[in-house]
């Protein structure tokens, strides 16, 4: 007894669409599956209804739709699918005979990866994983590039994105090393396949070295992506400038005084060594800015911020203090105390640059010394070029509705007050005159409540409260340090 015919990819017995790639490569698939996964096939199938097949055609399981793949004469280019009319017998009428189809092999070898790409793409429609060659990243990229081109030609890129992303991520170190070597090309590929991981990895490398990136490389980046990278690079530069400003205005906590303590000369003299350390540190920091060793350095300030983060003997070493004491000699004990105070200040400064030391890429500088730029840029979901903002949530919609109701209620209340006021004025005009009373019989008017005035006591210690000299030199490290508004006094 003959075995039953097999119904599986790429030939389904109940398939109603015949796809002819070449003389040796055909597919018999389902119109519903093709319409679901491809914009092109959905439009072509919906444009014209299929013929009503006769009984013999149905017994032969003929297809009601037929598409043929037509390749251009230029090699390496993606062809196009052409729908052919089918009669009631499930065949092509003689008037619209198909053009001669070429075989997809040459001397026993496949001549074009496009034929394999269509097999991978249609297999993805049926949850079949493509069989990429994973022994080399170059081969994977070549296969993936052809698959992406085929998917884009029929509007199926959304359905191959996860497969492509997974195939690339399996390369692990080879992938990240390739992105490090050519982030411009990988940035565009990451956008084409809408891979957040690949796109972010390439973007972070480009943002970190944007100041030293050759202009030719910048011109090779599409305009929208170039604007995005420049915007993120400017954000990083502003963050570095703000950090430097905070460092220059920093004082250790124990140096601060309050006016209530009425500090005098003995109180400040106890911190003289820390004041000297702050002065020495700021002189060194200002010289670093003048020499373009900070954010304007070729490495974007990587070495400078790394030294600040490491602290200790990474900068302002013991030799630097010996040079300092040539001009400001001290006793041995005083020298050790001054260096110890500088160590306390260095520990405080570490916290300011900690965010710049975060490495958001998969490759770390300790293992790859070629990374000579900051990799702390953050690419959020909203930053991705293909991201579409989601509409407001249900809670936001309810809050908006409540606000509208409040506005309507306030308007109605105001209209009611105006109407009542107008009615009172009319009633007063039409009411009989009231007997005039003597001044002594009048009820004394209630005195109007006067605003409370806080007088200045004129103490000399008020100089401690006047901390804003308009120069912007002292910048509070926390918004809590800002003096409360006058509204709090009136409560």
- pLDDT score recorded for residue 451: 41
Q: What is the DSSP letter of 68?
A: E
What is the number of alpha carbons within 13 Å of residue 127 lying toward its C-beta?
1
Provide the residue ranges of all domains of the chain, joining segments of one domain with +: 17-171, 247-383
Crossing angle for the helix pair 223-248 and 183-192, to the nearest 10 degrees: 120
- The pTM (predicted TM-score) of the whole model is 0.70
- 3-state helix, strand, coil split of the chain in percent (to 5) is 55, 5, 40
- Provide DSSP, 213-233: S-HHHHHTS-HHHHHHHHHHH
Task: Compute how many other C-beta atoms are within 10 angstroms of the C-beta atom of residue 28.
Answer: 19
> Which tokens in the block code for residue 280?
């020495």
- pLDDT score recorded for residue 23: 85
> Which tokens in the block code for residue 218?
């910048």
The string of pLDDT tens digits covering residues 14-27 is: 999 999 998 889 99
> Where are any strands of DSSP class E within 64-121?
65-70, 80-84, 105-106, 109-110
What percent of the chain clears pLDDT 90, i.e. is strictly above it? 53
Q: What is the pairing mode between strands 65-70 and 25-29?
A: unpaired
User: Which whole number is the average pLDDT over 175-179?
Assistant: 94
Residue 229 has pLDDT above 70, yes or no: yes
Cis peptide before 376 (omega within 30 of 0): no
The string of pLDDT tens digits covering residues 234-246 is: 999 999 999 999 9
Residue 187 has pLDDT above 90, yes or no: yes
Name the nearest CA neighbour of 356 among 286, 313, 316, 300: 300
| Contact in structure between 251 and 268 (CB atoms under 8 Å) | no
Q: In this predicted structure, which of 109-113, 157-161, 262-266 has the lowest mean pLDDT?
A: 109-113
Question: Which residue's structure tokens are 């029929």?
Answer: 154
- pLDDT score recorded for residue 403: 67
What is the pLDDT confidence band of residue 488, given thresholds at 50, 70 and 90? Answer: very low
Measured distance CA(13)–CA(16) in Å, rounded: 9
> Which tokens in the block code for residue 398?
């309810």
188: Cβ–Cβ under 8 A, 6 or more apart, which residues? 221, 222, 225
- Provide DSSP, 460-480: GGGGGT----SS-----SSGG
């Amino acid at each position: 007894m003959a075995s039953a015919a097999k119904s599986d990819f790429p030939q389904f017995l109940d398939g109603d669409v015949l796809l002819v790639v070449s003389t040796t490569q055909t597919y018999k698939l389902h119109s519903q599956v093709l319409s679901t996964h491809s914009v092109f096939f959905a439009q072509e199938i919906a444009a014209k209804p299929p013929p009503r097949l006769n009984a013999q055609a149905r017994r032969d399981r003929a297809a009601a739709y037929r598409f043929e793949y037509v390749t251009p004469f230029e090699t390496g280019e993606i062809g196009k699918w052409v729908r052919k009319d089918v009669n009631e017998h499930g065949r092509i009428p003689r008037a619209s005979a198909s053009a001669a189809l070429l075989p997809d092999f040459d001397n026993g070898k496949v001549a074009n990866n496009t034929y394999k790409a269509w097999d991978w793409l249609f297999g993805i429609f049926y949850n079949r994983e493509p069989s990429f060659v994973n022994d080399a990243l170059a081969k994977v990229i070549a296969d993936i590039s052809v698959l992406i081109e085929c998917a884009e030609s029929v509007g199926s890129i959304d359905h191959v994105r996860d497969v492509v992303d997974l195939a690339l991520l399996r390369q692990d170190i080879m992938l990240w090393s390739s992105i490090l070597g050519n982030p411009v090309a990988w940035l565009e590929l990451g956008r084409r396949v809408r891979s957040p991981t690949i796109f972010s990895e390439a973007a972070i490398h480009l943002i970190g070295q944007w100041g030293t990136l050759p202009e030719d490389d910048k011109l090779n980046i599409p305009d929208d992506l170039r604007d995005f990278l420049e915007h993120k690079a400017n954000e990083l530069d502003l963050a570095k400038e703000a950090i430097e400003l905070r460092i220059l205005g920093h004082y250790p906590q124990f140096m601060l005084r309050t006016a209530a303590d009425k500090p005098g000369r003995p109180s400040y003299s106890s911190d003289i060594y820390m004041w000297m350390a702050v002065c020495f540190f700021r002189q060194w920091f200002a010289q670093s800015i003048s020499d373009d060793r900070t954010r304007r350095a070729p490495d974007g300030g990587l070495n400078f911020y790394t030294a600040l983060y490491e602290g200790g003997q990474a900068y302002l070493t013991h030799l630097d203090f010996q040079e300092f004491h040539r001009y400001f000699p001290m006793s041995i004990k005083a020298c050790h105390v001054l260096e110890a105070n500088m160590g306390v200040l260095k520990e405080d400064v570490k916290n300011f640059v900690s965010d710049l030391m975060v490495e958001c890429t998969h490759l770390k500088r300790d293992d790859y010394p070629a990374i000579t730029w900051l990799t702390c840029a953050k690419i959020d979901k909203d930053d991705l070029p293909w991201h579409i903002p989601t509409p407001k949530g249900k809670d936001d919609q309810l809050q908006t509705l409540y606000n509208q109701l409040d506005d309507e209620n306030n308007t109605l209340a105001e209209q009611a007050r105006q109407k009542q006021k107008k009615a009172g004025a009319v009633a007063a005009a039409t009411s009989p005159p009231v007997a005039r009373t003597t001044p002594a019989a009048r009820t004394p008017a209630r005195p109007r409540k006067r605003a409370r005035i806080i007088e200045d006591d004129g103490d000399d210690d008020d100089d401690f409260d006047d901390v804003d000299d308009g120069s912007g030199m002292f910048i509070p490290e926390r918004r809590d340090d800002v003096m409360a508004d006058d509204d709090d006094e009136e409560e």
